[in-house]
C-alpha cells in the first residue's frame, strides 16, 4: 500500500551563507519520515528554496524543525536580496502529492502555524487554500510592504496574524503558510536589463500592468530582475497552475516579446522541482511543432530540457529535478509485487498465503501479452527492410481520444504506444488485486451495524479489480489484430505468445471475478458484472483466434 505523501517547499531568506543553509536542511534530513529532495540557493535573491516530502505528520515536524533553526540563525535586520520577503522563513506551502487531499494539507499548514506560534512565539499568516479571507488570501497581498513595512502592518487589526502575536520581531519578521496545488517557479533568461525583463513580465503575467491592462497568461505571476552570478536578467515567474498555462507556453511568449525588443533569450531555469507531466507537455508541444517522432519518455524529457534551455544556468538532471523520479523509490512501497524480481514474485505466489494469487498472476500475464505485442511492432518500425509498410501502418490507428495531442505524423507508432500504455495500465493491477483482497479480509472484522455495508463495499472493490484487468486487456484487441496484419513476421512466435498470454490474462481475471461474485448480495451489481464479463470473454476468444489465424496465413 502506498504511503501518503505531502510536499513542503519552504523559502528561507538566506542564499549566501552555506553554513546556515546546511543547518536548516540538516534539521529536515534528521526529521524521521522526511526526505530532502532539493536545495536551491540564490545569491542575488539571497533566498533558498528547499523541497522535501513526508507523510502528514513528518512533514509538519520537518517544517517546524527547519523553522527553529532559521529563527536562531537568520537575522532579517541585515537581510538584502532581489526577491520580495517578509520573514526568515518567508513562505511555507504544503502541497498534496499522493493519497492526500487539499484538506489534509490545509490541516498541515494550520498545525505548523500553531506550533510556530505556541513554541516560538512567531506571527504566522495563512494563505491560498488555508485562508478564508479574500483580502489576505494571496501571497502578494500578505507580503505587500515586505519586511520593511511589517511593523506598521501588524498594528492594523485587519492584519492580525492567524497564529501568534501581532508583534514585530526584528530578527525574524513573519511567515506565511498554507496549502496550494503544485507551483512551478520558472525563470526565462534574457540578455538585457532588469527593466527590459520586467517589461516582458508585465506583458505576460496575469495581473499585467493594471486591472485595465491585464497580461496574457492566466495563473502566472512575474517580475523582472538581474542576476549577478549569471550576468543576465531574468523574467522570474510563478506558474500557479501549469495545466492552465504550461511551461512551454510561458517560454515561447517571453521569447516572442524578447524578439520584439531585439533581445536574446538564452534558455530558462526551473527553481526547485517540477512534475514530470509539465516536462512531457513541453516535449509533446515541440514534437508537434517540429513534426518529430519521439515516444520514449527519456527522449521526451531530453527534448524538453534542450528546447527550453533548462541547463543554461546549471545542469538540469532529471533524476534530481523531476519530483516523480525523486520519489520513485516509493514505488517499491506503492507497488511491492510489480517491483519484485521475477524470481521473488514467483516465490511469493508459491508461498503458503492466500494472496498474491490468481488475480495478480492474471494481471501479470496480460501485461506480458501486451508487452509482446508492442515488441512485435518495434521489431517492424524503423527497419529499412520493412519501409514499404510505413504508409500502411500510418493508417492503422483510428482517432484516440487520449492521444489527440500527438500529430498525425507519429501515427506510425501509436499502435506500439497504445500497447505500451495498456501494459503500464495492467502492471498496477498486479498489486491492486492483492491489496483489494486484504482489504476485504479486514472488512470481515468490522463490528456492529456497519459490518454488512463494509463487507459489501470491499467485495465490490475486489470484483472491480480483475474486471478492470479484463477491460484494459479487451480494449487493445483491435490494436493486436492490426499488428497481426502488419508486424514483422519474423516476430511471429513472440507476437503469438503475446496473443495467448493476453487471452489467458483475461480468462484468469474472469475466474477471479466469478469466485468473488459467489458471495455478492447486490443482485443488480452481480447481473451487470456477469453480463459485461460475458461480452469481454466472447470477444477475447474471437479476437485471439482471429489474430493467430492472420499470422499463420502470413507465414504459410
| Residue of 104, 40, 28, 94 whose CA lies nearest to 65 | 28
H or E, element range at 86? none
Kindly indicate whether the domain formed by 184-326 is annotated with CATH number 3.30.70.670: yes
Q: What is the pLDDT of residue 306?
A: 98
* Prediction pTM value: 0.62
Q: What is the mean pLDDT of residues 44-69?
A: 95
Q: How far is CA 349 from CA 142, 339, 508, in A?
A: 57, 14, 15
Backbone angles phi, psi at 59, to 5 degrees: -65, -40
Instruction: Tell me: pLDDT of 215 over 80.
Output: yes
Active site residue 388: no
**Which numeric CATH code is attached to 335-555?**
1.20.120.680
CA distance 105 to 53: 12
Q: What is the pLDDT of residue 59?
A: 96
Q: What is the pLDDT of residue 128?
A: 92
CA distance 102 to 119: 26
Instruction: Tell me: pLDDT of 137 over 50.
Output: yes
Query: Out of 59-63, 195-199, 359-363, 431-435, which region has the weakest mean confidence (pLDDT)?
Result: 431-435
* Residue of 79, 83, 198, 248 marked catalytic: 83
Contact criterion met (CB below 8 Å) for 6 and 95: yes
Q: Which residue ranges does the chain devote to CATH 3.30.990.10? A: 5-179
Query: Out of 250-259, 426-435, 489-498, 538-547, which region has the weakest mean confidence (pLDDT)?
Result: 426-435
> Which range among 9-18, 314-323, 453-462 has the greatest average pLDDT?
9-18
Query: Out of 130-134, 165-169, 375-379, 481-485, which region has the weakest mean confidence (pLDDT)?
Result: 375-379
Residues written for the chain: 556
Instruction: Tell me: pLDDT of 337 over 80.
Output: no
| Residue of 349, 458, 327, 451 whose CA lies nearest to 37 | 327
pLDDT band at 371 (very low <50, low <70, confident <90, very high): confident
Q: Which residue ranges does the chain devote to CATH 1.20.120.680? A: 335-555
Contact criterion met (CB below 8 Å) for 93 and 179: yes
| Interacting residues of 266 by C-beta distance below 8 A, sequence separation 6+ | 189, 190, 191, 232, 309, 312
pLDDT band at 407 (very low <50, low <70, confident <90, very high): very low
* Residue of 40, 257, 433, 496 marked catalytic: 433
pLDDT digits (tens, 9 = 90+) for 117-131: 999 999 999 999 999
Q: Mean pLDDT for the chain?
A: 85
Q: Which fold has domain 5-179?
A: Formiminotransferase-cyclodeaminase; Chain B, domain 1 (3.30.990)
Q: Which residue ranges does the chain devote to CATH 3.30.70.670? A: 184-326
pLDDT digits (tens, 9 = 90+) for 8-54: 999 999 999 999 999 999 999 999 999 999 899 999 899 999 999 99
Q: How far is CA 243 from CA 58, 183, 246, 247, in A?
A: 29, 11, 6, 9
Q: What is the pLDDT of residue 173?
A: 97
Q: What is the mean pLDDT of residues 83-109?
A: 93
Contact criterion met (CB below 8 Å) for 353 and 337: no
CA distance 311 to 484: 43
pLDDT band at 401 (very low <50, low <70, confident <90, very high): very low
Q: What is the pLDDT of residue 80?
A: 92
| Residue of 209, 189, 191, 207 whose CA lies nearest to 199 | 209
Query: Out of 7-16, 190-199, 324-333, which region has the weakest mean confidence (pLDDT)?
Result: 324-333
pLDDT band at 339 (very low <50, low <70, confident <90, very high): low
Q: What is the pLDDT of residue 416?
A: 40
Q: What is the pLDDT of residue 231?
A: 95
Helix and strand numbers (H, E) in the chain are 20, 11
Beta strand 220-227 with 124-128 is: unpaired
Active site residue 248: no
Q: Is 171 exposed, middle or buried (0-12, 13-18, 19+ CB in 10 A)?
A: middle
Q: What is the pLDDT of residue 400?
A: 25
Contact criterion met (CB below 8 Å) for 91 and 175: yes
Query: C-alpha dihedral over 185, 228, 27, 110, to 10 degrees?
Result: -40
Amino acid at each position: 500500500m502506498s504511503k501518503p505523501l505531502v510536499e513542503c517547499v519552504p523559502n528561507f531568506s538566506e542564499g549566501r551563507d552555506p553554513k546556515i543553509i546546511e543547518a536548516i536542511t540538516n534539521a529536515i534530513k534528521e526529521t524521521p519520515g522526511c526526505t530532502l529532495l532539493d536545495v536551491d540557493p540564490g545569491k542575488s535573491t539571497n533566498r533558498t528554496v528547499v523541497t522535501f516530502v513526508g507523510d502528514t505528520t513528518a512533514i509538519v515536524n520537518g517544517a517546524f524543525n527547519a523553522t527553529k533553526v532559521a529563527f536562531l540563525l537568520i537575522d532579517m535586520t541585515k537581510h538584502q536580496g532581489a526577491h520580495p520577503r517578509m520573514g526568515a522563513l518567508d513562505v511555507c506551502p504544503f502541497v498534496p502529492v499522493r493519497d492526500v487531499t487539499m484538506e489534509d494539507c490545509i490541516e498541515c499548514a494550520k498545525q505548523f502555524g500553531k506550533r510556530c506560534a505556541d513554541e516560538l512565539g512567531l506571527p504566522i499568516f495563512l494563505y491560498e487554500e488555508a485562508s478564508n479571507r479574500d483580502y489576505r488570501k494571496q501571497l502578494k497581498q500578505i507580503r505587500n510592504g515586505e519586511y520593511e513595512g511589517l511593523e506598521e502592518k501588524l498594528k492594523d487589526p485587519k492584519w492580525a496574524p492567524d497564529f501568534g502575536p501581532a508583534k514585530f520581531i526584528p530578527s525574524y519578521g513573519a511567515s506565511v503558510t498554507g496549502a496550494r496545488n503544485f507551483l512551478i517557479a520558472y525563470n526565462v533568461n534574457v540578455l538585457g536589463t532588469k527593466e527590459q525583463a520586467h517589461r516582458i513580465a508585465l506583458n505576460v503575467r496575469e495581473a499585467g500592468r493594471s486591472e485595465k491592462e491585464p497580461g496574457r497568461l492566466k495563473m502566472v505571476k512575474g517580475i523582472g530582475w538581474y542576476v549577478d552570478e549569471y550576468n543576465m536578467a531574468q523574467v522570474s515567474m510563478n506558474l500557479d497552475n501549469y495545466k492552465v498555462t504550461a511551461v512551454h507556453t510561458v517560454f515561447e511568449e517571453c521569447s516572442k516579446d524578447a524578439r520584439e525588443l531585439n533581445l536574446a533569450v538564452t534558455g530558462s531555469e526551473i527553481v526547485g522541482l517540477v512534475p514530470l507531466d509539465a516536462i512531457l507537455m513541453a516535449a509533446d508541444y515541440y514534437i508537434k511543432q517540429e513534426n518529430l517522432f519521439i515516444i520514449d519518455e527519456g527522449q521526451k524529457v531530453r527534448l524538453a530540457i534542450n528546447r527550453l534551455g533548462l541547463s543554461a544556468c546549471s545542469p538540469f538532471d532529471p533524476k534530481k529535478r523531476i519530483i516523480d523520479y525523486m520519489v520513485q523509490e516509493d514505488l517499491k512501497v506503492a507497488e511491492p509485487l510489480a517491483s519484485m524480481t521475477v524470481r521473488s514474485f514467483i516465490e511469493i505466489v508459491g508461498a503458503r498465503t492466500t494472496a498474491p494469487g490468481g488475480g495478480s498472476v492474471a494481471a501479470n500475464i496480460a501485461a506480458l501479452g501486451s508487452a509482446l505485442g508492442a515488441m512485435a511492432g518495434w521489431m517492424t518500425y524503423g527497419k529499412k527492410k520493412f519501409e514499404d509498410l510505413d504508409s500502411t501502418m500510418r493508417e492503422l490507428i483510428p482517432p484516440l481520444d487520449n492521444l489527440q495531442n500527438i500529430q498525425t505524423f507519429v501515427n506510425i507508432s501509436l499502435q506500439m504506444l497504445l500497447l505500451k500504455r495498456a501494459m503500464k495500465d495492467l502492471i498496477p493491477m498486479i498489486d491492486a488485486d492483492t491489496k483489494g483482497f486484504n482489504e476485504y479480509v479486514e472488512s470481515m472484522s468490522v463490528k456492529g451495524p456497519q459490518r454488512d455495508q463494509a463487507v459489501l463495499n470491499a467485495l465490490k472493490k475486489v470484483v472491480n479489480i480483475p474486471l478492470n484487468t479484463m477491460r484494459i486487456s479487451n480494449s487493445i484487441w483491435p490494436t493486436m489484430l492490426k499488428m497481426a496484419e502488419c508486424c514483422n513476421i519474423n516476430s511471429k512466435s513472440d507476437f503469438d505468445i503475446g496473443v495467448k498470454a493476453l487471452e489467458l490474462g483475461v480468462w484468469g481475471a474472469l475466474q477471479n471475478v466469478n469466485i468473488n461474485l459467489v458471495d455478492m448480495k447486490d443482485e443488480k451489481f452481480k447481473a451487470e458484472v456477469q453480463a459485461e464479463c460475458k461480452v469481454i470473454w466472447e470477444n477475447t476468444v474471437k479476437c485471439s483466434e482471429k489474430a493467430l489465424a492472420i499470422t499463420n496465413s502470413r507465414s504459410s
